[in-house]
Amino acid sequence: MNKLANMRHWSERMGPGFGMSRPNMNMTAITPQHKGINGSSPILSPTSAETPIHYSFNVPFASDLAGPNVEDILYATVGAVERWTHPADAPDDVPIYELPVHAQNVTNLRKLCKDLTSGPLPIEAYVKSSEPKRVKGQVTNVCLSGSPELVHKSRETILNDTPLALRCAVVDVDGELVIDTAQTALKSHVVEHLDQIAAFCGVDVFLLGPKFASLVDGQNANGDAGRDQRWRVAIYGDMESAEHAKTRVLIFIDRLLGRVVDGTMLELSLHTVVCGRSRKNIKLIESTTNTAIYFPPPFSQVYRYCPTGAQRRNPEEIFITGDTPQNIALAKQKIHELVTRTRIFMKDAIVSAAKIDSILLSRLDKVRKIMETNGTFIQFPALASQRSMIRIQGVEGLHVERTVRDVMSLTGQFYSASWWIQQADTSRLPSPNDIRTMLSDICANSDADVAFDKLTFTITGSDDAVKAALMVISEIRFVTRSQYQIRVKIELANEHKEFVSGKKNGKINKIMGQSSVQIIFDGFNEYNFNIDVCGANYEAMKSGLMLVEQEMPASISFHVPDQYHKRIIGIGGQHIQRIMKKHSVFVKFSNAMDRGGVGREDDDIKVDNVICRTPARNAQNLELVKSEILDMVDRVDSEFTSQTVNVDRLYHRQLIARLGQLEELEKKWNCKIIFPSTETASDDVTISGPEWQVPHCVDEFLGMVPDNHELVLASTPELIKFLESTQFTKDLVPKLKAQYVVEVHVKEDENELTEDGKPTVTLLWTFTRNNAGGVRDAIDFLNSNLAAAGIEATTVKGAIPRPKSDSFEESLQYFDSKLLQHAPPVSTDSPTKSTFGEEVARERSTIFDKLRKPGSMSSISSFLDRRKNSSHSPAGSFFKNGSSNVSKSSLISIESTRSFNADRNPWNDSGVNLPDDDTTPWPTRHFGNGSGSSNDHKPSQLQHPGDATPKHTVRASIDSGRDSGRPSTSHSTNSGYPGPIGPPRS
């Protein structure tokens, strides 16, 4: 069903506003007044300490995490196979949550709750596992009964003694480092060290073989020339333990590579501050000292769980690996210098304890991104501790303020609600057992936390979870037969008050008149305020909440260089006014001066400086406005996109050491090259910039990455004579270098033999990654010269076959012509769905997928330099195709780069008043868990934009982790919050 929260999600939809000067920020600690429902904690309704309550919540076990394939396992630590694989006699369709490790977690939870129930304290804890229809897999729920204080303490105990959010961390490793080729077995010290890591960190470790998919396309499944098939170390455990073990595996690999390992101590709260924005300070240290620096996870103090017998990582310990002790000492010195130069600004903020728990359980990836982007540290209280104070610190007040606003925006993704039963029939009241069953069903089907006290339901969770819980409660018979009142509390930024209420509260008054609900604005603090939607009928409240959500601000932000702003705005604003009136969208521009002055930071030039905002019911017009604005921008400064390039993580160190060349490359193409954090062990390098410039930057960047490919041929006297001839060394080799930008070297390997044991000769082709596409053509050119010399070459290993041609032969059977030969008949159910439409289209799709992957044998970027030097096709024609391909393949990356922040508060007006219609502008929509959506209406098909809420194309939500989608009103995995201009897109 359609979910209107998907039409607006403030943390992502609300871009920051703009002002004419920087705000005066006072970094002294402030504690704004916070008010929950009736002034109490939003988790539980007001009650005396003696009154027992019932509280139900889901335990996020991640029971859908599957173990590795048994066929891939080369080695496993003690007990790992038994825990993470099904028994041999298990049926094929056994669900994942029945893996022994998941079943044991539920068993341990039941034992813990049983101990709590039978303990000396008056608290009861019950566990229920179920498979609700709306959730794929198993949901485990805990229901607590007792006094509020004991309920909170018991919940804290359960969540901190349970392995939450199990995950699998994977580290790629070269097979030569772990295998003993002489004995064709794993090195003994490698096995011993993996066992030690597993025992020390409390995780299960698997050594998996190379991940082969198919060998038909050449060297490997992707057709990448010379791309080694690395082995994989898979680490299974809870979040903190898996990160700890992953870091120790990375350090062990560095030891195998001959690097020295050392460490230093630094207070946890200074880690992200010292790293700097986007970790640029640490990357600079790593580049100048040729070291790798491993920081601990920034949330070590939030989760207190530790597996039995394991050791937690010291949250203040930093590991450093380098080629020499002198390099490590230099890195330590530079870190110490950074610390001594650091001046800390701090600010405290109040966030609802329930929302802090929700953020810690479901939004930590966003919090980590906020911290890295702003170079700040956020101190959260421990999970389920019921404390509501967070502390933010950074080196500059501006960045601290941005971080506070980003975190406060995350709170807008969570609702709280109350359902008061006012006049109930006492003869129909449920028993305590019935209440526990009822609360467990509500939680399992909605994923919200639900409390029941004195005939009052109190619900907290994400917006969709709360609405789904209300829908489930509305179907309970004893509830619907009584008089009741429902109250839903929404948190929104102060800057959007008049946007939602309209001029003279016109929008809110209209909603209250149409849906018979009461809407109250209260709970104002420094950043947010609450919108209370109250109703005495579920259907009325549902309708009123839906209408309020449709008036929420939907926004999209992007970057346009400052020099185009006057052209887009026009004389007297005529151009932009025409666009705004046409689409009923408000557009705001910000220049460098508005963001705090020219020359603040080099990367500030790429910050999103145009914001388009409109009520959520008109969200489909945002992309149309953006398109019209970008049409006025030159191609060289076109829309910013990003592309991910796969480069071996170990080679990142050599690339970072060439930081000067990378900076020149960034300036040349107006792009930004972002390397992943050392601890992530990721191979992905992100290059972002104007969509017509990114392919050029990718091509030059890959030109800095060497690669090779081995072609093994059966040795014959004629072949050896040809390879030693002057024709080969003086004529053919230079031609290969000039025409295909590929060098070839001849060597003999005694270990490489043909199937019948005869000797071979190996041709080593070396090239850069951007010219990988020339290897296949170079091999064909060599084979043609061998054939011309009368030499038959037999390929033993390393052949790169040509892709299957797109033949139309199979379709000719449908053309009745005597001039065309008939293809053999093909059995098919429909003449329009022959094997041509399936196999060939599938093959073509596979080819183009490879073309879009940078660095592969068929990479678009790999054609660039080769084609410029080739006489077969004109230069330059591939740049346009390449950039187009890159643009299409980077759609997801585009979604993740359009974040928006601002130095100034946004405009304080009511936004754009969409034209009213005689009929209601809000069509009735189903309200609940959002299982359905409408995807058949495109923005270009709208006939009356702004009059009503049309059906719209939705996309998957990256904010809430929900099944449903939302309209494209923002494109940021970061939270876009109105306020100071944010950091550059990363």
Residue 810 lies in a domain: no
Q: DSSP string of 252-288?
A: HHHHHTT-EEEEEE--GGGHHHHH-GGGHHHHHHHHH
**Confidence at residue 478, expressed as pLDDT on a 0 to 100 scale:** 87
For the stretch 519-529, pLDDT in tens is 999 888 899 99
Residue 73 lies in a domain: no
Q: Return the percent helix, strand and coil in the chain, to nearest 5.
A: 40, 20, 40
Place of tokens 């090239």: 767
> Does 672 lie in the same domain as 568?
no
Please state which of the ranges 33-42, 132-141, 299-308, 719-728 shows the lowest mean pLDDT.
33-42
> Does 494 lie in the same domain as 430?
yes
**Confidence at residue 836, expressed as pLDDT on a 0 to 100 scale:** 38
For residues 477 and 165, the answer to whether their CB atoms sit within 8 Å is no
Across residues 14-43, what is the average pLDDT? 36
Residue 112 lies in a domain: no
Across residues 244-257, what is the average pLDDT? 95
Please state which of the ranges 339-348, 694-703, 877-886 shows the lowest mean pLDDT.
877-886
**Confidence at residue 212, expressed as pLDDT on a 0 to 100 scale:** 56
**Confidence at residue 945, expressed as pLDDT on a 0 to 100 scale:** 37
For residues 13 and 960, the answer to whether their CB atoms sit within 8 Å is no
Rounded Cα–Cα distance for residues 365 and 16 (Å)? 21
For the stretch 164-206, pLDDT in tens is 889 999 999 998 898 887 767 889 999 999 999 999 999 999 9
Across residues 251-280, what is the average pLDDT? 93
Kindly report the CATH number assigned to the domain that includes residue 474: 3.30.310.210
Task: Work out the burial of residue 71: count CB atoms within 10 Å of its CB; fewer than 13 is exposed, 13-18 middle, 19 or more buried.
Answer: exposed
> Does 542 lie in the same domain as 422?
yes
Please state which of the ranges 19-23, 416-420, 465-469, 675-679 shows the lowest mean pLDDT.
19-23
Whether the pLDDT of residue 662 is over 80: the answer is yes
For the stretch 308-341, pLDDT in tens is 999 999 999 999 999 999 999 999 999 999 999 9
Place of tokens 């080593």: 764
Place of tokens 């404390």: 387
Q: DSSP string of 717-763?
A: HHHHHHHTSHIIIIIIHHHHHHHH--EEEEE--TT-B-TTS-BEEEE
> Does 439 lie in the same domain as 507?
yes
Question: Has this prediction a pTM greater than 0.85?
Answer: no
Q: pLDDT tier at 914 (50, 70, 90 boundaries)? A: low
Domain boundary among the residues 797, 821, 848 is at 797
Residue 489 lies in a domain: yes
> Does 684 lie in the same domain as 663?
yes
Q: Which helix (H) or strand (E) holds 164?
A: none
> Does 549 lie in the same domain as 421?
yes
How close are the terminal C-alpha atoms of the chain, in Å?
A: 34
Residue 735 lies in a domain: yes
**Confidence at residue 919, expressed as pLDDT on a 0 to 100 scale:** 36
Phi, psi of 670 (to 5 degrees): 55, 40
> Does 517 lie in the same domain as 430?
yes
3-class DSSP state of 775:
helix
| 518-532, 896-910, 972-986: range with highest mean pLDDT | 518-532
> Does 773 lie in the same domain as 784?
yes
Whether the pLDDT of residue 807 is over 50: the answer is yes
Eight-class DSSP state of 618: G
**Confidence at residue 972, expressed as pLDDT on a 0 to 100 scale:** 37
Which residues neighbour 248 within 8 Å (Cβ) at sequence distance 6 or greater?
A: 197, 200, 201
Instruction: Enter the tokens of residue 663.
Output: 């900076």
Rounded Cα–Cα distance for residues 703 and 717 (Å)? 37
Whether the pLDDT of residue 819 is over 70: the answer is no
**Confidence at residue 220, expressed as pLDDT on a 0 to 100 scale:** 38
For the stretch 368-423, pLDDT in tens is 999 998 999 999 999 999 999 999 999 999 899 999 999 999 999 999 999 999 87
**Confidence at residue 793, expressed as pLDDT on a 0 to 100 scale:** 84
Kindly report the CATH number assigned to the domain that includes residue 616: 3.30.1370.10
Distances (CA, A) of 176 to 173, 179, 180: 9, 6, 8
Query: Cβ of 936: how many Cβ atoms within 10 Å?
Result: 9
Instruction: Enter the tokens of residue 890.
Output: 């980077």
Q: Which helix (H) or strand (E) holds 26?
A: none
For the stretch 915-954, pLDDT in tens is 544 333 344 444 444 444 444 443 333 333 333 333 333 3
Q: Where are the alpha helices (DSSP H) in 870-947?
A: 877-889, 891-895
Domain total for the chain?
4
**Confidence at residue 596, expressed as pLDDT on a 0 to 100 scale:** 52
Q: Please state, rounded to an integer, the average pLDDT across all residues of the chain.
A: 77
Range of the domain at 622: 556-592+605-631
Distances (CA, A) of 244 to 101, 105, 954: 20, 21, 38
For the stretch 296-307, pLDDT in tens is 999 988 888 999
> Does 419 lie in the same domain as 545?
yes
Eight-class DSSP state of 140: E
Eight-class DSSP state of 836: I
Whether the pLDDT of residue 607 is over 70: the answer is yes
> Does 741 lie in the same domain as 678?
no
Position with higher pLDDT, 216 vs 69: 69
| 1-10, 486-495, 796-805: range with highest mean pLDDT | 486-495
* Beta strands per DSSP E along 424-523: 449-453, 456-462, 483-493, 518-522
Residue 769 lies in a domain: yes
Rounded Cα–Cα distance for residues 894 and 694 (Å)? 12
3-class DSSP state of 771:
helix
> Does 619 lie in the same domain as 741?
no
For the stretch 879-905, pLDDT in tens is 333 333 333 333 333 333 333 343 433
Kindly report the CATH number assigned to the domain that includes residue 791: 3.30.70
Rounded Cα–Cα distance for residues 715 and 763 (Å)? 11
Q: Could you tell me whether strands 185-186 and 53-58 are parallel, antiparallel, or unpaired per DSSP bridges? A: unpaired
Q: pLDDT tier at 967 (50, 70, 90 boundaries)? A: very low
Q: pLDDT tier at 814 (50, 70, 90 boundaries)? A: low
Whether the pLDDT of residue 964 is over 80: the answer is no
Which of these, 926, 971, 934, lies nearest to 464 by C-alpha position?
926
Instruction: Enter the tokens of residue 675.
Output: 């390397």
Which of these, 767, 777, 770, lies nearest to 855 by C-alpha position?
770
For residues 127 and 443, the answer to whether their CB atoms sit within 8 Å is no
Instruction: Enter the tokens of residue 958.
Output: 């990256």
**Confidence at residue 211, expressed as pLDDT on a 0 to 100 scale:** 72
Rounded Cα–Cα distance for residues 408 and 402 (Å)? 10
Rounded Cα–Cα distance for residues 554 and 9 (Å)? 8
**Confidence at residue 833, expressed as pLDDT on a 0 to 100 scale:** 37
Share of residues in the chain with pLDDT > 70 (%):
73
Eight-class DSSP state of 431: P
**Confidence at residue 815, expressed as pLDDT on a 0 to 100 scale:** 52
Residue 377 lies in a domain: no
For the stretch 745-801, pLDDT in tens is 988 777 777 777 788 888 999 999 998 888 888 999 998 999 988 888 888 888 887
* Amino acid, res. 211: K
Q: pLDDT tier at 428 (50, 70, 90 boundaries)? A: confident
Residue 866 lies in a domain: no
Query: What is the side-by-side strand order in the sheet with 706-714?
Result: 743-747, 760-768, 706-714, 795-797
Domain boundary among the residues 523, 553, 583 is at 553
Q: Encode 647-708 in three state secondary structure.
A: CCHHHHHHHHCCHHHHHHHHHHHCCEEECCCHHHCCCEEEEEEECCCHHHHHHHHHCCCEEE
**Confidence at residue 449, expressed as pLDDT on a 0 to 100 scale:** 96
Which of these, 247, 303, 280, 292, lies nearest to 372 by C-alpha position?
280
Give residue 836's Cα distance to chain centre: 37
Whether the pLDDT of residue 969 is over 50: the answer is no
For the stretch 152-168, pLDDT in tens is 999 999 999 999 889 99
> Does 531 lie in the same domain as 446?
yes
